[in-house]
Amino acid sequence: MKFEVTILGSSSATPVFNRNPSAQLLNCNEKYYLIDCGEGTQQQLTKYNLKATRIDYIFISHLHGDHYFGLIGLLSSLHLNGRTKSMQIFGPKPLLEILEIQFKYSDTVLRYPIEFFPIEANESFKIFENSELTVKTIMLNHRIPTTGFLFEQKPRQRKLIKEKADEIPMAYYTALKKGIDVELPDGKIIKSEDYTTPADPPKSYAYCSDTMYDERYFSTIKDCDTLYHEATFLHELLDRANETHHTTALQAGEIANVVGAKKLLIGHFSSRYKTLQMLLEETQSVFENTELAIEGRTFQL
């Protein structure tokens, strides 16, 4: 089952050096989940051949423009292109008012419904669940209320061993995949463990942007498989990071260590950095399995 994320934007504040403001597209079993929607997200989706029409869920971390200025454009285009299925949007409560006022003054009545789910930024809780994954909020520490999102796959079924499964009627597959032994009409017992292999362990992806180093959210992202964490500045600008409630590259690596993440992606880079190698090296000095979450890269989670 597919579980991967494509980076659409890696820049903080403004688009510079071919870097776009924050946006990521999570693909879970061919369902699309958009995480933040900075300016230019539509063009990025087109550039990387990702169909915006397939997005059914949008998660907005906070109301700084670099995380949602692309949203009204995306929603409007979907309307113009004839979308009728609903869109679920999760974000800070005032976001709905912001969208409504823009639609009001452009005299736009969307052809499709928006189901809006306001997020309270006071404690971590589950905001979404379907048959494949759950999404929980991560309480971040930024200048305005901000939440990250923890995407966790649900435990999956055992996998049929194809060559062996051909011997038995398909009607028994569901039970076998659930680990249940079955009895055929002729009395033969079919053991699940003989006809299936264990399921892949469920994976998790934690999205943390924007925030300063704050131990209070560490328990929510403990032992996550892949952690995306902002790393706006080099550590020599720690004072600036604290002042603006952001994280340094070194701190991002420390956080990945403390929470026991298996892999770290860093992003949300300050416009003062034309190249990013120094940020990557600083993070890798404390957490080696780090990669730059830059535009166009897709990571298997």
Catalytic residues: 66
DSSP string of 81-148, one letter each residue: TT--S-EEEEEETHHHHHHHHHHHHTT---SS-EEEEEE-TTS--EEEE-SSEEEEEEE---SS--EE
The stretch among 85-93, 190-198, 209-217, 272-280 that binds Zn ion (CB under 5 A) is 209-217
The stretch among 118-126, 176-184, 210-218, 255-263 that binds Zn ion (CB under 5 A) is 210-218
d(CA 262, CA 7): 19
AA letter at 62:
H
d(CA 223, CA 196): 28
CB neighbourhood size of 183 (10 A):
10
Establish whether 239 is an annotated binding residue.
no
**Under rule CB under 5 A, residue 66 binds Zn ion:** yes
Establish whether 79 is an annotated binding residue.
no
Q: Coil, strand or helix: which one is 9? A: strand
Establish whether 210 is an annotated binding residue.
yes
In the stretch 2-41, what mask flags binding to Zn ion with x, by CB under 5 A?
----------x-----------------------------
Q: Between β-strands 204-208 and 226-230, what pairing exists: parallel, antiparallel or unpaired?
A: parallel
Establish whether 64 is an annotated binding residue.
yes
Smallest separation, CB 144 to Zn ion (Å):
7
Which one, 167 or 239, has the nearer CB to Zn ion? 239
**Under rule CB under 5 A, residue 210 binds Zn ion:** yes
Which one, 271 or 284, has the nearer CB to Zn ion? 271
The residue nearest Zn ion at its CB is: 64
**Under rule CB under 5 A, residue 152 binds Zn ion:** no
Q: Of 19, 26, 44, 64, which one interacts with Zn ion (CB under 5 A)? A: 64
265-299: buried (b, 16+ CB within 10 Å) or exposed (e) per residue?
A: bbbbbbeebeebeebbebbbebbeebbbbbbeeeb
Establish whether 200 is an annotated binding residue.
no
DSSP string of 49-73, one letter each residue: T--GGGEEEEE---SSGGGTTTHHH
**How many of the chain's residues bind Zn ion (CB under 5 A)?**
4
The stretch among 131-139, 147-155, 204-212, 221-229 that binds Zn ion (CB under 5 A) is 204-212
Dihedral of CA 245/246/248/252: which sign?
positive
From the annotation, which residues make up the binding site? 62, 64, 66-67, 142, 210, 268
| Residues of this chain that bind Zn ion (CB under 5 A) | 12, 64, 66, 210
From the annotation, which residues make up the binding site for Zn(2+)? 62, 64, 66-67, 142, 210, 268
